[in-house]
Amino acid sequence: MLSSMVKFEIARTTDAKAIGMMSCDLIEKGLGWTWTPARVAQNIESRDTVVLVARARDRLIGFGIMYFGDESAHLNLLAVLPAFQKIGIGRGIMEWLEESARTAGIGTVFLEVRAKNKQARAFYKKMGYEEFAYLSHYYNGTEAAVRMVRDLRVRELS
């Protein structure tokens, strides 16, 4: 059912404004806005970054931005509109990005999440990420983050 409703695809530069606004509203709220449409567009155009979007009936409903290094990747942002959460869209974005990282020969993915965002931390734990560092004052010098990691070389047994 999800696959017929939602389409995952590489972002276009015309998506930068919608992605930037989602970041402002859903991720950066209360921290100041750093992932502006211009910054998002730069990431869309970068060879080292994959920006994936989820669309339902041509409406952008979610996105993920992942930077690919030589041996590790970093999930910069992930968001899904509230009306579309908890139906597998975030998981679909993550699985797509992780499989791309594996294909590129990357073994490890890192990310940071607000320490007080229990819902996001639980989501990433379900995705196989482990918390390994607490970073006080990480966001704008005001809010703590938890750094998480996943070894992509370890496949989960289902």
End-to-end CA distance of the chain: 21
Given the residues 9, 67, 95, 112, the one annotated as active site: 112
Contacts of 40 (CB under 8 A, 6+ apart): 15, 16, 19, 20, 23, 51, 65
Given the residues 28, 98, 124, 138, the one annotated as active site: 124
For residue 112, indicate whether it is catalytic: yes
- Rounded to whole angstroms, the maximal C-alpha distance in the chain is 43
For residue 124, indicate whether it is catalytic: yes
Cα 132 to Cα 146: distance, rounded to the nearest angstrom? 7
Catalytic machinery residues: 112, 124
